[in-house]
Chain A
């Protein structure tokens, strides 16, 4: 029989007390500023303020959807986000397992440390180094290609290369850093489990499959759900710096579009309407992922 609400409140009072400052934080710093969402339904006049601005209903949502380019832009964003997720989600797990299987401990630590470094470079620097490397006239990569006897490729000017370059540079920058959470998960595995597995005669591979991987599953699930929710959050800087007029077909995504049209009057309202639409899509994604993971496994966000 389920205890009554009152009884449960009493039972959980310590936890609720501990939770109180956290909730206060969320109210003060996340929910109070959220009133700003209303500007997507208004003609936001910065000078007069949010409340004095005029209501315009769904005007800016219609604006976006009536733009014939909107679908292309949404498609580009979704595709780039999905490919990025497909590659950026598994690579840190694979790297973590490689680290784990590396026998030479000092080498492993060295690689771990340096793989974490690119995370600290700004997009601007990463992009400028990439542009330098990929140049068809002076870039090292093309000089290598030429040396192999193949025609140089103008990577940055070919729409079909944009996603590859974008995602590759993201992996380059983030894979080492994203591995950390799995390393922590690996370190949290109860060593007795390995002992038990060894006693059952399990070799290295069997141990990896039966102990190591199951040990990091909860972390994998959580990262999966959160990353899926963030699929539409693509770095504006990178798309702006690596894209150009020749690759608009694939490189024009929501953030670059919002940036470009920011000159139009009422830009804050327009940008906010697009943001909110994207947030709704993200919410649906995260909600579905959570539902599936709750059904299939034990881990879920709520």
Chain B
């Protein structure tokens, strides 16, 4: 599960990187003499705070290898007089090693699981005690109560701040082959029943095909679940976000599993979708074997670039239960920044945090500086020609890479995304389920108390649900399966998280 989360994050980043494409509006930036001056003089004129050097620990992504001379670090130096040394993770255990060695870098980019693991051990600084020194961070948190709730520990500490603004690629969406649909006079399915009939028709037209294909195995339930108003496991109830709910106990879950079973039985989905990897998924999409899918948003463009004919287009999620079409609540980032409790550069570290959350800092770390990275034309910012696609922001300047920003301005990224591909990004937010599948934070004791039960119930529901979907068990036994959840202490787990949720809600007030 941990790995799944990591890969999801990386996946998101990759997707974001890959969503980029060359923007055709290329203009020459060889005569910027008049635009450079105002900005540089303005920023160097005020008295800078005292000089400092801090170390920031981040991932090392081979897609955008970290460089010492990235512009983002130069801007930090210009604005705050802080020299940043980037310390790169070398493996999955790097953070654990850093914590155990007693010499942590000053600032660390961390996943919530890591905060939950090492936070209670005392590795990270409680930022809530230093809010007076980081007014911009405080203002940011006050403006985003849900983020504040996510980062506040059960004991009221704030041990990390989750990054914000660049999570748009972290959104699973439905898309389909527009050309095939048009050719055969098929309409976008609005409901799961329509999805089924449409897939049937496609199967008749193309007997060799598997019209609907997915790539994430059983985890796909997390992405199609929302169209039935649920996530498969424990989550907040979308109808009443103050209550916890175990998705599979919802009657709509039965409908969902029944549907999938029908799709498998009638060959509308590949028989091996449970074990299909990205390679197999790519093959199905690029060889016209599948026409409807649910995947991360950036894949639309990646696959469009591979199709020799035809094109893929965003589709509203089909309604499975209720009246509203829903996608999972994506768009959030899943990792953030923490300050080491052992730091010897406390002031500088806090100053850095405050800078990246300040209005100017946010703007500079997202867009760069006028004349250096972009020009303003007709009131609109335009990146220089050397940034051909959005991922160039990362490769060339380090913009939107781990540790270099706190609150990203996603418009900067979108400025380099092809207009045709912007549709999905504009549409997707309209369909998000009101709640995400994130769980409220538990105390270490609570976590330990339900740990084994959590694993057992996971094993139970995944094994059984797979049997129902693939027809190894008749749907008539579904109710018995749902009852069986009780044997695995589903109530105990639910109550534990309910308590955590109540606490979180109380903390927010």
A contact residues vs B (CB 8 Å cutoff): 45-49, 63, 66-69, 128, 131-132, 135-138, 152, 154, 156-157, 244-246, 248-249, 252, 257, 259-268
Contacts and interface: CB of A to CB of B under 8 A. Distances in A.
A137 B289 CA distance: 11
B497 to A, nearest CB: 15
B10 interface: no
6 contacts: A45-B121, A128-B277, A132-B280, A244-B218, A244-B275, A259-B2
A67 B458 CA distance: 14
A263 B459 contact: no
Contact of B271 (A45, A136, A265): A136
B272 A137 contact: yes
B210 to A, nearest CB: 7
A249 B224 CA distance: 26
Nearest to A241: B277
A267 B447 CA distance: 11
Nearest to A266: B448
B275 A131 contact: yes
A265 B444 contact: yes
A268 B100 CA distance: 12
A67 B121 contact: no
Interface stretch (B305-313, B462-470, B501-509): B462-470
A139 B230 CA distance: 34
Nearest to A244: B275
A157 B275 contact: yes
Contact of B277 (A131, A245, A261): A131
Contacts of B448: 264-266
B123 interface: yes
A202 to B, nearest CB: 53
Interface residues of B, number: 42
A265 B466 contact: no
A41 B463 CA distance: 33
Given A152-B271, A248-B459, 9 more contacts: A47-B123, A69-B459, A136-B271, A136-B272, A137-B272, A154-B271, A156-B272, A259-B3, A263-B117
A46 B272 contact: no
Contacts of B283: 138
Given A69-B459, A157-B272, A260-B1, A128 B123 contact: no
Nearest to B455: A261
Given A136-B271, A262-B2, A47 B99 contact: yes
Contacts, number: 105
B100 A68 contact: no
Contacts of B272: 135-137, 154, 156-157
Nearest to B270: A137
B279 interface: yes
Contact of B120 (A63, A131, A265): A265
B455 A46 contact: no
Contacts of A128: 277, 279
B217 interface: yes
B122 interface: yes
A49 B342 CA distance: 14
B452 interface: yes
B451 interface: yes
A132 B283 CA distance: 11
A248 B271 CA distance: 19
B113 interface: yes
Cβ-closest 3 pairs across A and B: A264-B451, A245-B462, A47-B121
Nearest to B217: A244
Interface string B1-24: 111000000000000000000000
Interface in B241-276: 270-272, 274-276
Contacts of B1: 260, 263
B94 interface: no
Interface in B1-60: 1-3
A260 to B, nearest CB: 6
A46 B100 contact: yes
Given A46-B96, A156-B272, A157-B272, A265 B117 contact: yes
A136 B113 CA distance: 37
A67 B274 contact: no
A61 to B, nearest CB: 13
B456 interface: yes
Contact of A265 (B3, B217, B447): B447
Nearest to B463: A248
Contacts of B456: 67-69
B118 interface: yes
B490 to A, nearest CB: 15
Contacts of B117: 263, 265, 267
Contacts of A259: 2-3
Contacts of A265: 116-117, 120, 444, 447-448, 451
B259 to A, nearest CB: 19
Contact of B113 (A67, A154, A263, A266): A263
Nearest to A159: B463
A135 B280 contact: yes
A246 B447 contact: no
Contacts of B218: 244-245
B122 A47 contact: yes
Interface string B114-156: 0011101111000000000000000000000000000000000
Interface in B448-491: 448, 451-452, 455-456, 459, 462-463, 466-467, 470
Contact of B466 (A245, A266, A268): A245
Interface in B415-471: 444, 447-448, 451-452, 455-456, 459, 462-463, 466-467, 470
A119 to B, nearest CB: 23
A151 B151 CA distance: 53
Contact of B100 (A47, A67, A132, A257): A47
B102 interface: yes
Contact of B210 (A46, A68, A137): A137
Nearest to B117: A265
